């Protein structure tokens, strides 16, 4: 059964361009290197300034676990910490069809 993830990220004022640069690169690395990842897209809210959401879809729990253990995901942690305006909100979803 597939697993969906919606990660809501709020960024400090003036840090959007910096965040978009490294988050977009992270998304490219995920799509290029993780066959168990079906979708990994950075999106920006139309109504809430400085709010972004990663829309992610994995074939199964093993693929999601693998994603969290990759070197490039771990390396992104300090970059995220430097621009965040609060803790990310992460919602996990189970595929139904």
What pLDDT sits at residue 53? 97
What pLDDT sits at residue 97? 79
Both structure tokens of 63: 């693929």
Residue 18 pLDDT greater than 90, yes or no: yes
SS3 of residue 54 by DSSP: strand
Both structure tokens of 41: 């897209």
What tens digit of pLDDT does each residue of 43-93 get? 999 999 999 999 999 999 999 999 999 999 999 999 999 999 999 999 999
Residue ranges of domains in the chain: 3-94
**Helices of type H across 3-70:** 16-33, 61-69
Measured between alpha carbons, how far apart are the two ends of the chain, in Å?
A: 8
Q: What are 64's strand-pairing partners?
A: none
CB 68 within 8 A of CB 14: no
What pLDDT sits at residue 40? 97
| Phi, psi for 53 (deg, rounded to 5) | -135, 130
* Domain 3-94 of CATH type 3.30.70.100: yes
């Amino acid at each position: 059964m597939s697993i969906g993830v919606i990660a809501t990220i709020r960024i400090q004022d003036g840090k959007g361009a910096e965040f978009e640069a490294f988050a977009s690169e992270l998304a490219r690395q995920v799509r290029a290197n993780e066959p168990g990842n079906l979708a990994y897209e950075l999106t920006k809210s139309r109504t809430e300034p400085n709010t972004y959401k990663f829309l992610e879809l994995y074939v199964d729990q093993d693929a999601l676990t693998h994603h969290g253990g990759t070197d490039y995901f771990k390396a992104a942690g300090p970059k995220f910490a430097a621009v965040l305006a609060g803790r990310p909100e992460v919602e996990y979803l189970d595929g139904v069809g």
